Structure 1
């Protein structure tokens, strides 16, 4: 294996309990007039008041948009931008879950370059730098604080759409596990399972030919030695602490592990990309209106089973990162143990085990497969070739709950 690597992390990452108190100093290095994108729930908390007061104490003028909705509806971005334009922000802060961070990216994009959000769908459509985005996650899952992607829901399209550009990578990510302490068990589980899926799909992503144009023409470039480092870190931390954080939300060490795991997974997949589990979730989510993290986690054990033969060594390393007591065993046994442990963990934290239980209609299985296999930016990342016939078998296996049929 050559030592090709690509990584596009934020310019600054600060992580640790209480680090959100540094927000004033960090934002002041980027601007003095901040648009803050958050949701109505978080804006009413003591934690948000503390952040606002810290910003004001640093001399930052603040305009708060606290109506961010889940999945960032297309029309809501224009509302936020028009509301903020007279304020003339020179920095945008996203505080909250992934939707709040994605709203901050989208608002900054339109405030900088104008036009309609649809002008930027796809890869490398953003023409240049945007207003600095400061990302302050309050959940541990999406990794949006470290990625070049913003995902939105557009009512004119069946599936959610993404804008992918290195220009969307936040200027700074402030990751304070204290901000996740109030996350309920269900959100902790879904967000954490999303992060583990990011990490495993990034670590098992296809390795591409490392020509000099690869990272210049593609936002997601497949696995490399640097993304592997972050992916394994995420798998190790989430494997040891996600269930603990789910069962005891007051466990500060578990919360820190899970948040660091989500950040590391974001650093990994933000360059490596994700694959089939995410491709299938796009049509599944459109039909079932279930959370993104829940859908990708439902699919992950089946996708791992399908990909097993194409990435046995990576699957064995996942087993080691999960600290499974199978040292010295063959790669095949380790791979099987890794898949079994992911399925066990997800069951323990309440992840829906099948597409049927997720609410996918049986008569939509072929449509789901057709849509998923057409999402080329994700399918090309899958380590095992997956055509329509194989995708139909995989979707059916996940619907029936038959892991063996996913091989």
Structure 2
């Protein structure tokens, strides 16, 4: 397949280090002269030997570390405002983010609030952050969100019925240290749901619509299909498909953890400029309604999304390229079957009913998903209420049509 798109954009941290031991670069990635940092970390990390080693090393070099670990599920807006007030009062010069996607997103938003003030609601959407934020050094402890290299952070606003995204190139961390050693303690469910979300990132990045924008305009944060990221998305999908079941089954398998860390990073680099689409648009209201992990929802939805999109000939061709990369063949049916089989292998249910969704919820989910215009707009086919309802109906029933025709 020859891709007709020959334009692309990459937005990355100035420094990205990946591999066992990469965390040792932490001191060297802090801005020169840094004396005080806020460490936004998951609560379980505070007593971890790995974190204690890092904190001890920083303090031995004259860097005072203030730990903030009140990372609440779904990141309520008020909790982030409190963290930013703490950081501002301490006069920190940089933020270290260590943890899963919530910790990394929290650090980005604290950096935003410290620099530009609140409320966060004035930044909801794209390209509304007015300038650089406090430097963030990101150390992910899960292989999934890719937040260490992306320009987006997501919060829960009680005034709304789903999560809200803030997207800006200014939110990209100053450095990403992707050390698989930090993921070894992740429970099987976290490994599974974070890992399948990384696969969704790769698939949706590779199947994104062509959203070309004139170079003399302000570029959207997410620019659609991208010649610079397609190969990364394919390699990420191949890695994750091969190694995620092993990482879930054998959590101490260092090779599996390493492959997943790299696959997640590649998927993050791919979707950071490209964007994601329908799995994420639908998951936002589903996650808000059920309180279930983000990756659980996006992973569950992915086979149904691909099943619906494969009716478009151009997208079906791209799905075939994806299948070749994953080693399952170019038939879209084989790709959908492989995605469903992966979900079965790692414990992702096949029906929305398993998440507590009732049939009467489906119309509102579709309606709320359509409010995520940026995500819906990145889908490779026009995605109105009818298509979203069709996907939701299939996912509710747990039935893949496969050979369905338009």
Task: Give the alignment's TM-score, normalised by structure 1.
Answer: 0.95
- Length, aligned pairs only: 399
Q: Are the equivalent residues in 2 in contact too, given 1:130–1:168 (CA < 8 A)? A: yes
For 1:296 and 1:132, locate their aligned partners in 2 and report how far apart those are by CA, in whole Å: 30
Question: In the alignment, what sits opposite 1:320?
Answer: 324
Give the C-alpha shift of residue 32 in structure 1. 2.8
Name whichever of 204-213 and 114-123 sits farther off: 204-213
Q: Are the equivalent residues in 1 in contact too, given 2:144–2:195 (CA < 8 A)? A: yes
Q: Are the equivalent residues in 2 in contact too, given 1:37–1:100 (CA < 8 A)? A: yes
Q: How does 1:306-385 map to 2 (within 5 A)?
A: 306-310=308-312, 311-324=315-328, 326=329, 331=330, 334-385=331-382
Matched residue SS, 2:37: strand
Q: Are the equivalent residues in 1 in contact too, given 2:213–2:219 (CA < 8 A)? A: no
Select which of 99, 109, 124 maps to 1:96. Answer: 99
For 1:193 and 1:66, locate their aligned partners in 2 and report how far apart those are by CA, in whole Å: 26
Give the C-alpha shift of residue 210 in structure 1. 4.6
Superimposed CA distance per residue, residues 255-309 of structure 1 (whole angstroms, 9 cap, x where no aligned partner): 0111111111111111110001111101111111111110001100000011113
- Large movers: runs of 4+ above 4 Å: none
Give the C-alpha shift of residue 38 in structure 1. 0.9
For 1:235 and 1:282, locate their aligned partners in 2 and report how far apart those are by CA, in whole Å: 22
Q: Are the equivalent residues in 1 in contact too, given 2:243–2:259 (CA < 8 A)? A: yes
Matched residue SS, 2:185: coil
Inter-CA distance 209–24: structure 2 relative to 1 (3 Å threshold): closer
Question: In the alignment, what sits opposite 1:239?
Answer: 241
1:287 matches 2:289: yes
Select which of 47, 51, 56 maps to 1:53. Answer: 56
Name whichever of 1-10 and 258-267 sits farther off: 1-10
Give the C-alpha shift of residue 50 in structure 1. 1.1
Give the C-alpha shift of residue 42 in structure 1. 1.2
Matched residue SS, 1:219: coil
Matched residue SS, 1:99: helix
Task: Give the alignment's TM-score, normalised by structure 2.
Answer: 0.95
Matched residue SS, 2:157: coil
Give the C-alpha shift of residue 177 in structure 1. 0.0
Give the C-alpha shift of residue 353 in structure 1. 0.9
Q: How does 1:33-48 map to 2 (within 5 A)?
A: 33-48=36-51
Give the C-alpha shift of residue 28 in structure 1. 4.7
Matched residue SS, 2:229: helix
For 2:263 and 2:145, locate their aligned partners in 1 and report how far apart those are by CA, in whole Å: 11
For 1:162 and 1:185, locate their aligned partners in 2 and report how far apart those are by CA, in whole Å: 27
Q: Are the equivalent residues in 2 in contact too, given 1:160–1:286 (CA < 8 A)? A: yes
For 2:334 and 2:61, locate their aligned partners in 1 and report how far apart those are by CA, in whole Å: 51
Q: How does 1:8-407 map to 2 (within 5 A)?
A: 8-29=11-32, 31-213=34-216, 216-310=218-312, 311-324=315-328, 326=329, 331=330, 334-404=331-401
For 2:346 and 2:242, locate their aligned partners in 1 and report how far apart those are by CA, in whole Å: 13
Give the C-alpha shift of residue 189 in structure 1. 0.3
Give the C-alpha shift of residue 387 in structure 1. 1.3
For 2:34 and 2:144, locate their aligned partners in 1 and report how far apart those are by CA, in whole Å: 28
Name whichever of 64-73 and 204-213 sits farther off: 204-213
For 1:92 and 1:292, locate their aligned partners in 2 and report how far apart those are by CA, in whole Å: 25
For 1:158 and 1:178, locate their aligned partners in 2 and report how far apart those are by CA, in whole Å: 37
Q: Are the equivalent residues in 1 in contact too, given 2:31–2:94 (CA < 8 A)? A: no
| Structure 1 stretches lacking a partner, 5+ long | none
Name whichever of 53-62 and 295-304 sits farther off: 53-62
For 1:69 and 1:53, locate their aligned partners in 2 and report how far apart those are by CA, in whole Å: 26
Matched residue SS, 1:403: coil
Q: Are the equivalent residues in 1 in contact too, given 2:5–2:226 (CA < 8 A)? A: no
For 1:290 and 1:127, locate their aligned partners in 2 and report how far apart those are by CA, in whole Å: 33
Give the C-alpha shift of residue 86 in structure 1. 2.0
Give the C-alpha shift of residue 18 in structure 1. 1.0
Q: Are the equivalent residues in 2 in contact too, given 1:28–1:60 (CA < 8 A)? A: no
Superimposed CA distance per residue, residues 316-360 of structure 1 (whole angstroms, 9 cap, x where no aligned partner): 111111112x4xxxx5xx221111101101111000111111111
Superimposed CA distance per residue, residues 367-399 of structure 1 (whole angstroms, 9 cap, x where no aligned partner): 111111231100110011111122111111110
For 2:50 and 2:389, locate their aligned partners in 1 and report how far apart those are by CA, in whole Å: 46
Matched residue SS, 1:225: coil
Give the C-alpha shift of residue 153 in structure 1. 0.7
Give the C-alpha shift of residue 25 in structure 1. 1.7
For 1:2 and 1:285, locate their aligned partners in 2 and report how far apart those are by CA, in whole Å: 34
